[in-house]
Structure 1
Amino acid sequence: MTTSDSDKCWGECMDVAVEVACRAGKVVQEAVKHEKSVSTKSTPTDLVTEADQQVEELIISTLRDKFPSHRFIGEESSAAGEKCILTDSPSWIIDPIDGTCNFVHNFPMVAVSIGFAVKKELEFGVIYHCFDGTLYTARKGHGAFCNGVRIQVSKEKDVSKALILTEIGAKRDPATLNIFSGNIMKLLSAPAHGYALTYGLHCWDIAAAAVIIREAGGVVIDTSGGPLDLMSRRVVAAGTHEMASYIVQQLQPISYERDDSDPGVQK
Protein backbone atom coordinates (compact mmCIF):
# COMPACT_ATOMS: atom_id res chain seq x y z
CA MET A 1 0.00 0.00 0.00
CA THR A 2 1.42 3.39 -1.01
CA THR A 3 1.52 6.36 1.36
CA SER A 4 -1.32 7.95 -0.59
CA ASP A 5 -3.40 4.77 -0.44
CA SER A 6 -2.85 4.29 3.28
CA ASP A 7 -3.64 7.95 3.98
CA LYS A 8 -6.95 7.57 2.16
CA CYS A 9 -7.69 4.25 3.88
CA TRP A 10 -7.01 5.59 7.38
CA GLY A 11 -9.11 8.64 6.57
CA GLU A 12 -12.03 6.37 5.71
CA CYS A 13 -11.47 4.45 8.94
CA MET A 14 -11.61 7.70 10.87
CA ASP A 15 -14.90 8.64 9.24
CA VAL A 16 -16.36 5.36 10.47
CA ALA A 17 -14.88 5.96 13.94
CA VAL A 18 -16.62 9.33 14.16
CA GLU A 19 -19.92 7.77 13.14
CA VAL A 20 -19.74 4.91 15.62
CA ALA A 21 -18.48 7.13 18.47
CA CYS A 22 -21.49 9.41 18.04
CA ARG A 23 -23.84 6.42 17.94
CA ALA A 24 -22.26 4.98 21.07
CA GLY A 25 -22.48 8.36 22.78
CA LYS A 26 -26.23 8.45 22.20
CA VAL A 27 -26.52 5.03 23.86
CA VAL A 28 -24.61 6.37 26.87
CA GLN A 29 -26.87 9.43 27.01
CA GLU A 30 -29.92 7.17 27.17
CA ALA A 31 -28.33 4.85 29.75
CA VAL A 32 -27.78 7.76 32.14
CA LYS A 33 -31.55 8.06 32.53
CA HIS A 34 -31.95 4.54 33.90
CA GLU A 35 -30.87 2.63 36.99
CA LYS A 36 -27.34 1.28 36.54
CA SER A 37 -26.07 -2.21 37.31
CA VAL A 38 -22.61 -1.57 38.80
CA SER A 39 -19.83 -3.97 39.75
CA THR A 40 -16.11 -3.62 40.46
CA LYS A 41 -13.02 -4.91 38.68
CA SER A 42 -9.54 -4.57 40.20
CA THR A 43 -10.42 -2.29 43.14
CA PRO A 44 -13.55 -0.85 44.82
CA THR A 45 -13.00 2.35 42.80
CA ASP A 46 -12.52 0.55 39.46
CA LEU A 47 -16.14 0.35 38.33
CA VAL A 48 -17.88 -1.30 35.41
CA THR A 49 -21.53 -1.19 34.35
CA GLU A 50 -23.66 -3.13 31.91
CA ALA A 51 -23.59 -0.01 29.74
CA ASP A 52 -19.78 -0.21 29.45
CA GLN A 53 -20.06 -3.73 28.09
CA GLN A 54 -22.99 -2.98 25.80
CA VAL A 55 -21.36 0.11 24.31
CA GLU A 56 -18.06 -1.70 23.73
CA GLU A 57 -19.90 -4.53 21.99
CA LEU A 58 -21.71 -2.01 19.77
CA ILE A 59 -18.45 -0.30 18.80
CA ILE A 60 -16.40 -3.44 18.17
CA SER A 61 -19.13 -5.32 16.30
CA THR A 62 -19.75 -2.33 14.03
CA LEU A 63 -16.06 -1.86 13.29
CA ARG A 64 -15.40 -5.59 12.86
CA ASP A 65 -18.17 -5.83 10.26
CA LYS A 66 -16.47 -3.11 8.22
CA PHE A 67 -12.85 -4.06 8.92
CA PRO A 68 -12.73 -7.83 9.61
CA SER A 69 -8.93 -8.07 9.30
CA HIS A 70 -8.27 -5.41 11.95
CA ARG A 71 -7.48 -6.07 15.60
CA PHE A 72 -9.38 -4.67 18.59
CA ILE A 73 -8.34 -3.77 22.13
CA GLY A 74 -11.23 -2.80 24.41
CA GLU A 75 -11.26 -1.97 28.10
CA GLU A 76 -14.05 -4.35 29.02
CA SER A 77 -12.95 -7.27 26.84
CA SER A 78 -9.45 -6.93 28.31
CA ALA A 79 -10.89 -6.89 31.82
CA ALA A 80 -12.79 -10.08 30.92
CA GLY A 81 -9.50 -11.85 30.15
CA GLU A 82 -8.78 -11.19 26.48
CA LYS A 83 -5.10 -10.62 25.81
CA CYS A 84 -4.21 -6.99 25.36
CA ILE A 85 -1.50 -7.15 22.69
CA LEU A 86 -0.61 -4.35 20.29
CA THR A 87 0.76 -5.70 16.99
CA ASP A 88 1.76 -4.11 13.68
CA SER A 89 -1.72 -4.82 12.31
CA PRO A 90 -4.27 -1.99 12.09
CA SER A 91 -5.59 -1.86 15.66
CA TRP A 92 -8.53 -0.12 17.29
CA ILE A 93 -8.08 0.88 20.94
CA ILE A 94 -11.42 1.55 22.61
CA ASP A 95 -12.70 2.95 25.88
CA PRO A 96 -16.49 2.64 25.59
CA ILE A 97 -17.23 4.85 28.60
CA ASP A 98 -14.20 6.90 29.57
CA GLY A 99 -15.23 8.08 33.02
CA THR A 100 -17.30 5.18 34.32
CA CYS A 101 -17.22 6.53 37.89
CA ASN A 102 -18.56 9.84 36.59
CA PHE A 103 -21.20 7.98 34.59
CA VAL A 104 -22.35 6.05 37.67
CA HIS A 105 -22.74 9.30 39.62
CA ASN A 106 -24.27 11.25 36.71
CA PHE A 107 -21.32 13.64 36.71
CA PRO A 108 -21.11 15.16 33.21
CA MET A 109 -17.55 14.20 32.32
CA VAL A 110 -18.03 11.05 30.26
CA ALA A 111 -16.75 10.25 26.79
CA VAL A 112 -16.44 7.56 24.16
CA SER A 113 -12.78 7.24 23.18
CA ILE A 114 -11.50 5.48 20.03
CA GLY A 115 -7.85 5.41 18.98
CA PHE A 116 -6.35 3.73 15.91
CA ALA A 117 -2.78 2.51 15.45
CA VAL A 118 -0.84 0.91 12.59
CA LYS A 119 2.57 -0.66 13.14
CA LYS A 120 2.24 0.45 16.78
CA GLU A 121 2.05 4.11 15.69
CA LEU A 122 -1.06 6.13 16.43
CA GLU A 123 -2.84 7.36 13.29
CA PHE A 124 -5.98 9.04 14.59
CA GLY A 125 -8.14 9.60 17.65
CA VAL A 126 -11.82 10.35 18.20
CA ILE A 127 -13.35 11.44 21.52
CA TYR A 128 -17.07 12.11 21.82
CA HIS A 129 -18.30 13.89 24.96
CA CYS A 130 -21.54 12.10 25.74
CA PHE A 131 -23.30 14.79 27.77
CA ASP A 132 -22.89 17.84 25.55
CA GLY A 133 -22.08 16.27 22.16
CA THR A 134 -18.63 17.83 21.82
CA LEU A 135 -16.53 15.90 19.28
CA TYR A 136 -12.72 15.96 19.33
CA THR A 137 -10.89 14.48 16.35
CA ALA A 138 -7.31 14.33 15.14
CA ARG A 139 -5.34 12.57 12.41
CA LYS A 140 -1.58 12.34 12.22
CA GLY A 141 -0.37 15.17 10.04
CA HIS A 142 -3.84 16.68 9.62
CA GLY A 143 -4.35 18.68 12.83
CA ALA A 144 -6.73 18.46 15.78
CA PHE A 145 -10.30 19.72 15.85
CA CYS A 146 -13.18 20.35 18.25
CA ASN A 147 -16.53 20.20 16.46
CA GLY A 148 -14.69 20.88 13.20
CA VAL A 149 -12.80 23.92 14.50
CA ARG A 150 -9.03 23.59 14.62
CA ILE A 151 -7.57 23.64 18.13
CA GLN A 152 -4.09 24.25 19.52
CA VAL A 153 -2.51 23.84 22.93
CA SER A 154 -1.10 26.80 24.79
CA LYS A 155 2.55 27.48 23.98
CA GLU A 156 3.17 29.06 27.38
CA LYS A 157 6.68 28.07 28.46
CA ASP A 158 6.55 29.76 31.86
CA VAL A 159 5.00 26.94 33.83
CA SER A 160 4.27 29.22 36.79
CA LYS A 161 1.54 30.75 34.61
CA ALA A 162 -0.09 27.44 33.78
CA LEU A 163 -2.46 25.12 35.69
CA ILE A 164 -2.21 21.72 37.33
CA LEU A 165 -4.84 18.97 37.19
CA THR A 166 -4.46 15.82 39.31
CA GLU A 167 -6.29 12.48 39.39
CA ILE A 168 -5.10 9.50 41.39
CA GLY A 169 -6.63 6.58 39.49
CA ALA A 170 -8.03 3.31 40.81
CA LYS A 171 -4.88 1.86 42.41
CA ARG A 172 -4.82 3.15 45.99
CA ASP A 173 -2.55 0.88 48.00
CA PRO A 174 -0.38 2.57 50.69
CA ALA A 175 2.79 2.60 48.56
CA THR A 176 1.02 4.24 45.61
CA LEU A 177 -0.69 6.81 47.83
CA ASN A 178 2.62 7.65 49.49
CA ILE A 179 4.36 8.31 46.16
CA PHE A 180 1.36 10.24 44.86
CA SER A 181 1.32 12.46 47.95
CA GLY A 182 5.06 13.03 47.71
CA ASN A 183 4.81 14.02 44.06
CA ILE A 184 1.99 16.45 44.78
CA MET A 185 3.90 18.06 47.65
CA LYS A 186 7.00 18.41 45.46
CA LEU A 187 5.05 19.99 42.63
CA LEU A 188 3.04 22.34 44.82
CA SER A 189 6.17 23.58 46.58
CA ALA A 190 7.87 24.41 43.27
CA PRO A 191 7.14 27.55 41.23
CA ALA A 192 5.92 25.50 38.30
CA HIS A 193 2.48 24.02 37.68
CA GLY A 194 1.43 23.45 34.11
CA TYR A 195 0.20 20.01 33.24
CA ALA A 196 -2.23 17.18 33.96
CA LEU A 197 -0.99 14.60 36.47
CA THR A 198 -2.82 11.24 36.45
CA TYR A 199 -1.97 7.71 37.54
CA GLY A 200 -2.69 4.17 36.35
CA LEU A 201 -3.79 4.99 32.82
CA HIS A 202 -4.27 2.18 30.31
CA CYS A 203 -3.72 2.21 26.56
CA TRP A 204 -7.43 2.87 25.94
CA ASP A 205 -7.23 5.94 28.20
CA ILE A 206 -4.27 7.31 26.25
CA ALA A 207 -4.58 6.36 22.57
CA ALA A 208 -7.14 8.83 21.20
CA ALA A 209 -6.10 11.68 23.48
CA ALA A 210 -2.42 11.31 22.58
CA VAL A 211 -3.11 11.92 18.88
CA ILE A 212 -5.31 14.92 19.66
CA ILE A 213 -2.71 16.49 21.96
CA ARG A 214 0.12 15.97 19.48
CA GLU A 215 -1.86 17.29 16.53
CA ALA A 216 -2.83 20.31 18.64
CA GLY A 217 0.88 21.01 19.05
CA GLY A 218 1.44 19.35 22.42
CA VAL A 219 3.95 16.79 23.66
CA VAL A 220 3.21 13.20 24.74
CA ILE A 221 6.16 11.15 26.02
CA ASP A 222 7.14 8.39 28.45
CA THR A 223 7.80 9.30 32.08
CA SER A 224 11.48 8.54 31.41
CA GLY A 225 11.54 11.30 28.80
CA GLY A 226 11.67 8.81 25.91
CA PRO A 227 9.06 8.03 23.24
CA LEU A 228 5.56 7.05 24.36
CA ASP A 229 5.04 3.31 24.79
CA LEU A 230 1.27 2.82 24.64
CA MET A 231 1.32 -0.39 26.66
CA SER A 232 3.61 0.83 29.47
CA ARG A 233 0.90 2.76 31.38
CA ARG A 234 3.40 5.60 31.73
CA VAL A 235 2.79 8.92 30.03
CA VAL A 236 3.54 12.60 30.38
CA ALA A 237 1.50 15.10 28.35
CA ALA A 238 2.19 18.82 28.19
CA GLY A 239 1.84 21.83 25.95
CA THR A 240 5.57 22.29 25.37
CA HIS A 241 8.79 20.29 25.52
CA GLU A 242 10.00 22.55 28.31
CA MET A 243 6.99 21.72 30.45
CA ALA A 244 7.21 17.99 29.69
CA SER A 245 10.91 17.98 30.60
CA TYR A 246 10.15 19.70 33.90
CA ILE A 247 7.54 17.09 34.81
CA VAL A 248 9.89 14.19 34.01
CA GLN A 249 12.56 15.66 36.27
CA GLN A 250 10.19 16.21 39.19
CA LEU A 251 8.17 13.02 39.49
CA GLN A 252 8.94 9.72 41.18
CA PRO A 253 7.40 7.03 38.93
CA ILE A 254 4.81 4.58 40.25
CA SER A 255 5.17 0.97 39.13
CA TYR A 256 2.29 -0.61 37.19
CA GLU A 257 2.01 -3.88 35.29
CA ARG A 258 2.07 -3.31 31.53
CA ASP A 259 -1.17 -3.62 29.61
CA ASP A 260 0.37 -6.41 27.50
CA SER A 261 1.33 -8.49 30.54
CA ASP A 262 0.08 -12.07 30.32
CA PRO A 263 -2.69 -12.95 30.98
CA GLY A 264 -4.73 -9.94 29.89
CA VAL A 265 -4.49 -6.68 31.75
CA GLN A 266 -2.94 -6.69 35.19
CA LYS A 267 -4.07 -3.82 37.42
Structure 2
Amino acid sequence: MADEDAAFTLALQAAKDAGQVIVDAFHKRDKSIESKSGATDLVTVYDRQCEELIVGRIRHAFPAAKIIAEESHADNGYDLSNDMTWFVDPIDGTNNFIHGIPWTCVSIGCHVNRKPAFGIVYNPIINELFTARAGQGAFLNGRQIRVSNITKLDKAAVINEFGYGRDPATIDRMLGCLRKLLTNNVQSVRFFGSAALNMCSVACGRADVYFEGHTSKIGPKPWDFAAAEVVLTEAGGVISDQDGGTFDMTSGRVLCASSKALLDSIVDIMK
Protein backbone atom coordinates (compact mmCIF):
# COMPACT_ATOMS: atom_id res chain seq x y z
CA MET A 1 0.00 0.00 0.00
CA ALA A 2 2.84 2.40 0.77
CA ASP A 3 4.27 1.80 -2.70
CA GLU A 4 0.87 2.44 -4.26
CA ASP A 5 0.48 5.68 -2.29
CA ALA A 6 3.89 6.85 -3.44
CA ALA A 7 3.16 5.78 -7.01
CA PHE A 8 -0.13 7.67 -7.08
CA THR A 9 1.51 10.83 -5.75
CA LEU A 10 4.31 10.55 -8.31
CA ALA A 11 1.88 9.96 -11.17
CA LEU A 12 -0.27 12.90 -10.17
CA GLN A 13 2.64 15.33 -10.25
CA ALA A 14 4.07 13.83 -13.44
CA ALA A 15 0.70 14.21 -15.18
CA LYS A 16 0.49 17.86 -14.15
CA ASP A 17 4.04 18.58 -15.29
CA ALA A 18 3.52 16.82 -18.62
CA GLY A 19 0.29 18.75 -18.93
CA GLN A 20 2.23 21.98 -18.70
CA VAL A 21 4.36 20.85 -21.64
CA ILE A 22 1.14 20.32 -23.61
CA VAL A 23 -0.24 23.72 -22.64
CA ASP A 24 2.97 25.50 -23.61
CA ALA A 25 3.00 23.82 -27.04
CA PHE A 26 -0.73 23.77 -27.74
CA HIS A 27 -0.94 26.86 -29.97
CA LYS A 28 2.37 26.34 -31.77
CA ARG A 29 2.01 25.82 -35.51
CA ASP A 30 5.08 23.60 -35.86
CA LYS A 31 4.76 20.56 -33.61
CA SER A 32 7.35 18.43 -35.47
CA ILE A 33 4.83 15.86 -36.66
CA GLU A 34 5.75 12.37 -37.82
CA SER A 35 3.59 9.45 -38.94
CA LYS A 36 3.80 6.04 -37.25
CA SER A 37 1.70 3.21 -38.68
CA GLY A 38 0.12 5.44 -41.33
CA ALA A 39 -0.93 8.93 -42.35
CA THR A 40 -3.63 9.11 -39.66
CA ASP A 41 -1.49 7.71 -36.81
CA LEU A 42 0.71 10.62 -35.77
CA VAL A 43 3.27 11.56 -33.14
CA THR A 44 4.88 14.88 -32.22
CA VAL A 45 8.07 15.88 -30.47
CA TYR A 46 5.87 16.77 -27.49
CA ASP A 47 4.48 13.23 -27.20
CA ARG A 48 8.07 12.06 -26.79
CA GLN A 49 9.00 14.89 -24.45
CA CYS A 50 6.06 14.17 -22.15
CA GLU A 51 6.76 10.45 -22.19
CA GLU A 52 10.42 10.95 -21.31
CA LEU A 53 9.38 13.13 -18.37
CA ILE A 54 6.87 10.61 -17.01
CA VAL A 55 8.88 7.45 -17.65
CA GLY A 56 12.03 9.03 -16.23
CA ARG A 57 10.33 9.75 -12.94
CA ILE A 58 8.84 6.28 -12.72
CA ARG A 59 12.21 4.67 -13.43
CA HIS A 60 13.91 6.81 -10.79
CA ALA A 61 11.38 6.00 -8.05
CA PHE A 62 10.51 2.42 -9.06
CA PRO A 63 13.47 0.99 -10.99
CA ALA A 64 11.99 -2.53 -11.04
CA ALA A 65 8.59 -1.46 -12.33
CA LYS A 66 7.37 -2.54 -15.74
CA ILE A 67 6.37 0.32 -18.04
CA ILE A 68 4.19 0.04 -21.13
CA ALA A 69 4.30 3.42 -22.83
CA GLU A 70 3.05 4.44 -26.25
CA GLU A 71 6.05 6.00 -27.91
CA SER A 72 9.01 4.09 -26.45
CA HIS A 73 7.48 0.69 -25.74
CA ALA A 74 4.74 0.32 -28.35
CA ASP A 75 6.61 -2.30 -30.36
CA ASN A 76 7.83 -4.39 -27.42
CA GLY A 77 4.59 -6.23 -26.72
CA TYR A 78 2.41 -5.90 -23.67
CA ASP A 79 3.71 -8.74 -21.49
CA LEU A 80 1.19 -8.22 -18.68
CA SER A 81 2.32 -9.76 -15.40
CA ASN A 82 1.84 -9.60 -11.62
CA ASP A 83 4.56 -6.97 -11.31
CA MET A 84 3.69 -3.33 -10.74
CA THR A 85 2.95 -2.27 -14.31
CA TRP A 86 2.58 1.30 -15.52
CA PHE A 87 0.67 2.32 -18.64
CA VAL A 88 1.61 5.71 -20.03
CA ASP A 89 -0.01 7.62 -22.87
CA PRO A 90 1.80 10.97 -22.88
CA ILE A 91 -0.72 12.63 -25.20
CA ASP A 92 -3.94 10.77 -25.88
CA GLY A 93 -5.70 12.58 -28.69
CA THR A 94 -2.56 13.58 -30.57
CA ASN A 95 -4.52 14.51 -33.70
CA ASN A 96 -6.64 16.88 -31.62
CA PHE A 97 -3.48 18.35 -30.08
CA ILE A 98 -1.97 18.88 -33.54
CA HIS A 99 -5.06 20.71 -34.78
CA GLY A 100 -5.55 22.81 -31.66
CA ILE A 101 -8.68 20.98 -30.52
CA PRO A 102 -8.81 21.05 -26.70
CA TRP A 103 -9.74 17.37 -26.26
CA THR A 104 -6.41 15.81 -25.41
CA CYS A 105 -4.91 14.43 -22.24
CA VAL A 106 -2.12 12.78 -20.30
CA SER A 107 -3.06 9.26 -19.20
CA ILE A 108 -1.19 7.31 -16.50
CA GLY A 109 -2.48 4.03 -15.12
CA CYS A 110 -0.98 1.46 -12.78
CA HIS A 111 -1.80 -2.22 -12.29
CA VAL A 112 -0.67 -4.38 -9.39
CA ASN A 113 -1.11 -8.16 -9.54
CA ARG A 114 -2.79 -7.71 -12.92
CA LYS A 115 -5.53 -5.56 -11.39
CA PRO A 116 -6.06 -1.81 -11.83
CA ALA A 117 -4.67 0.11 -8.85
CA PHE A 118 -5.19 3.70 -9.96
CA GLY A 119 -5.72 5.91 -12.96
CA ILE A 120 -5.04 9.57 -13.72
CA VAL A 121 -6.39 11.29 -16.84
CA TYR A 122 -5.55 14.98 -17.16
CA ASN A 123 -6.77 17.40 -19.83
CA PRO A 124 -4.55 20.41 -19.15
CA ILE A 125 -6.12 22.60 -21.83
CA ILE A 126 -9.43 22.83 -19.98
CA ASN A 127 -7.89 21.93 -16.61
CA GLU A 128 -9.86 18.76 -15.91
CA LEU A 129 -8.16 16.15 -13.76
CA PHE A 130 -9.82 12.73 -13.45
CA THR A 131 -8.44 10.50 -10.70
CA ALA A 132 -9.42 7.15 -9.26
CA ARG A 133 -7.98 4.51 -6.97
CA ALA A 134 -9.38 1.01 -6.68
CA GLY A 135 -12.11 0.93 -4.05
CA GLN A 136 -11.93 4.66 -3.34
CA GLY A 137 -14.22 6.24 -5.94
CA ALA A 138 -13.61 8.45 -8.96
CA PHE A 139 -13.11 12.20 -8.95
CA LEU A 140 -13.02 15.17 -11.31
CA ASN A 141 -10.98 18.04 -9.90
CA GLY A 142 -11.51 16.60 -6.43
CA ARG A 143 -15.29 16.23 -6.73
CA GLN A 144 -16.66 12.68 -6.71
CA ILE A 145 -18.33 11.67 -9.96
CA ARG A 146 -20.90 9.04 -10.96
CA VAL A 147 -22.23 7.75 -14.24
CA SER A 148 -25.64 8.85 -15.50
CA ASN A 149 -28.86 7.00 -14.73
CA ILE A 150 -29.72 6.54 -18.42
CA THR A 151 -30.84 3.02 -19.34
CA LYS A 152 -32.56 3.52 -22.74
CA LEU A 153 -30.88 4.03 -26.11
CA ASP A 154 -33.29 6.77 -27.17
CA LYS A 155 -32.07 8.85 -24.22
CA ALA A 156 -28.40 7.98 -24.63
CA ALA A 157 -25.44 9.98 -25.86
CA VAL A 158 -23.10 7.50 -27.56
CA ILE A 159 -19.42 8.07 -28.33
CA ASN A 160 -17.81 6.10 -31.13
CA GLU A 161 -14.52 6.44 -33.03
CA PHE A 162 -13.45 5.57 -36.56
CA GLY A 163 -9.87 4.84 -35.55
CA TYR A 164 -6.88 4.79 -37.89
CA GLY A 165 -7.98 2.23 -40.46
CA ARG A 166 -8.82 3.57 -43.93
CA ASP A 167 -9.08 0.34 -45.89
CA PRO A 168 -12.49 -0.37 -47.49
CA ALA A 169 -13.36 -3.23 -45.12
CA THR A 170 -12.70 -1.10 -42.02
CA ILE A 171 -14.65 1.84 -43.43
CA ASP A 172 -17.61 -0.40 -44.30
CA ARG A 173 -17.57 -1.94 -40.82
CA MET A 174 -17.50 1.43 -39.07
CA LEU A 175 -20.22 2.92 -41.26
CA GLY A 176 -22.26 -0.20 -40.57
CA CYS A 177 -21.91 0.41 -36.84
CA LEU A 178 -23.00 4.01 -37.28
CA ARG A 179 -26.02 2.96 -39.32
CA LYS A 180 -27.08 0.50 -36.61
CA LEU A 181 -26.84 3.20 -33.96
CA LEU A 182 -28.88 5.71 -35.94
CA THR A 183 -31.56 3.26 -37.05
CA ASN A 184 -32.04 2.23 -33.42
CA ASN A 185 -32.77 5.84 -32.49
CA VAL A 186 -29.92 6.67 -30.16
CA GLN A 187 -30.31 10.25 -29.04
CA SER A 188 -26.89 11.37 -30.30
CA VAL A 189 -23.59 10.02 -31.62
CA ARG A 190 -20.31 11.84 -31.07
CA PHE A 191 -16.70 11.34 -32.20
CA PHE A 192 -14.20 13.13 -29.95
CA GLY A 193 -10.81 11.54 -30.65
CA SER A 194 -9.50 10.43 -27.25
CA ALA A 195 -10.22 6.98 -25.83
CA ALA A 196 -9.25 7.98 -22.30
CA LEU A 197 -11.40 11.11 -22.26
CA ASN A 198 -14.27 9.23 -23.92
CA MET A 199 -14.29 6.73 -21.04
CA CYS A 200 -14.06 9.54 -18.52
CA SER A 201 -17.01 11.24 -20.22
CA VAL A 202 -19.11 8.18 -19.46
CA ALA A 203 -17.72 8.14 -15.93
CA CYS A 204 -18.87 11.69 -15.18
CA GLY A 205 -22.23 11.43 -16.96
CA ARG A 206 -21.52 13.56 -20.03
CA ALA A 207 -22.04 10.53 -22.22
CA ASP A 208 -23.76 7.22 -21.60
CA VAL A 209 -21.95 4.80 -23.92
CA TYR A 210 -18.53 4.63 -25.56
CA PHE A 211 -17.43 1.85 -27.86
CA GLU A 212 -14.85 0.98 -30.47
CA GLY A 213 -14.77 -2.28 -32.36
CA HIS A 214 -11.47 -2.43 -34.18
CA THR A 215 -8.63 -4.96 -34.24
CA SER A 216 -5.60 -5.00 -31.98
CA LYS A 217 -3.55 -3.54 -34.84
CA ILE A 218 -5.60 -0.39 -35.50
CA GLY A 219 -7.72 -0.10 -32.36
CA PRO A 220 -6.96 1.55 -29.01
CA LYS A 221 -4.10 0.10 -26.99
CA PRO A 222 -3.62 -0.71 -23.27
CA TRP A 223 -2.16 2.75 -22.57
CA ASP A 224 -5.38 4.28 -23.95
CA PHE A 225 -7.56 2.26 -21.55
CA ALA A 226 -5.63 1.52 -18.36
CA ALA A 227 -6.11 4.78 -16.46
CA ALA A 228 -9.63 5.56 -17.64
CA GLU A 229 -10.87 2.04 -16.89
CA VAL A 230 -10.32 2.69 -13.18
CA VAL A 231 -12.10 6.04 -13.40
CA LEU A 232 -15.04 4.46 -15.21
CA THR A 233 -15.55 1.48 -12.92
CA GLU A 234 -15.04 3.49 -9.74
CA ALA A 235 -17.75 5.86 -11.01
CA GLY A 236 -20.16 2.94 -11.36
CA GLY A 237 -19.74 2.25 -15.07
CA VAL A 238 -19.58 -1.16 -16.71
CA ILE A 239 -17.10 -2.34 -19.33
CA SER A 240 -16.85 -5.30 -21.68
CA ASP A 241 -15.70 -6.43 -25.08
CA GLN A 242 -17.94 -5.15 -27.87
CA ASP A 243 -19.60 -8.56 -27.94
CA GLY A 244 -20.40 -8.36 -24.23
CA GLY A 245 -17.58 -10.67 -23.14
CA THR A 246 -14.76 -9.95 -20.72
CA PHE A 247 -12.88 -6.74 -21.51
CA ASP A 248 -9.35 -7.33 -22.82
CA MET A 249 -7.29 -4.16 -23.04
CA THR A 250 -5.02 -5.71 -25.69
CA SER A 251 -7.85 -6.49 -28.14
CA GLY A 252 -8.47 -3.00 -29.56
CA ARG A 253 -12.15 -3.41 -28.69
CA VAL A 254 -14.11 -1.79 -25.89
CA LEU A 255 -17.69 -1.17 -24.86
CA CYS A 256 -18.46 0.80 -21.74
CA ALA A 257 -21.72 2.22 -20.49
CA SER A 258 -23.42 3.85 -17.56
CA SER A 259 -25.57 0.76 -17.00
CA LYS A 260 -25.67 -2.93 -17.82
CA ALA A 261 -28.98 -2.35 -19.60
CA LEU A 262 -27.39 0.11 -22.02
CA LEU A 263 -24.38 -2.11 -22.54
CA ASP A 264 -26.61 -5.07 -23.39
CA SER A 265 -28.62 -2.91 -25.81
CA ILE A 266 -25.49 -1.99 -27.74
CA VAL A 267 -24.37 -5.62 -27.83
CA ASP A 268 -27.77 -6.63 -29.23
CA ILE A 269 -27.86 -4.09 -32.05
CA MET A 270 -24.26 -4.76 -33.08
CA LYS A 271 -24.79 -8.49 -33.60
Alignment TM-score > 0.5, same fold: yes
CA deviations 1:49-82 (Å, max 9, x no partner) are 1111111111001111001111000011134x33
Task: Give every structure 1 segment of 4 or more consecutive aligned residues whose post-TM-superposition deviation is greater than 4 Å.
Answer: none
Matched, 1:99 2:93: yes
Q: Are 2:210 and 1:196 aligned?
A: yes
Residue 223 of structure 1, CA deviation: 2.0
5+ residue gaps, structure 2:
188-207
What CA RMSD, in Å, does the superposition of the two structures yield over aligned residues? 1.5
Note the C-alpha offset of 1:33.
3.9
2:7 to 1, 4, 13: 13
Q: How does 1:159-238 map to 2 (within 5 A)?
A: 159-192=153-186, 194-198=208-212, 199=214, 200-238=219-257
- Write the letter of the residue equivalent to 1:196: Y
Secondary structure of the 2:88 match is strand
Question: For residue 70 of structure 2, what is the aligned residue in structure 1?
Answer: 75
**CA distance in 2 between partners of 1:152 and 1:100 (Å):** 27
Q: Which residue pairs with 2:148 in the alignment?
A: 154
Moved more, 91-100 or 153-162: 153-162
> Which amino acid in the other structure matches residue 134 of structure 2?
K
Deviations 1:131-150 (A, max 9, x none): 02211000110000001000
Residue identity matched to 2:139: F
| Partner secondary structure for residue 97 of structure 1 | strand
Shift of 1:192: 4.1
CA deviation profile, 1:140-167 (whole Å, cap 9, x unmatched): 1000000100000002212211112222
Once the 2 structures are TM-superposed, how far is the Cα of residue 30 of structure 1 from its aligned partner? 1.1
**TM-score if structure 2 supplies the norm length?**
0.86
Question: Of 37, 58, 63, which residue of structure 2 is paired with 1:42?
Answer: 37
Q: What's the CA shift for 1:122?
A: 1.1
Which amino acid is 1:246 matched to?
S
Aligned-partner SS, 2:38: coil
2:95 maps to a residue whose letter is C
Aligned residue pairs: how many?
Answer: 245
Q: Calculate percent identity across the aligned residue pairs.
A: 40
Task: Find the aligned partners of 1:225 and 1:158 in 2 and give their Cα distance.
Answer: 17
Counterpart of 1:132 (choices 126, 129, 141) is: 126
User: Deviation string for 1:22-51 (max 9, x for gaps)?
Assistant: 011001111224321001011211001111
Gaps of 5+ in 1: 1-5, 253-267
- For 2:210, what is the secondary structure of its paired residue? strand
With normalisation by structure 1, the TM-score equals 0.87
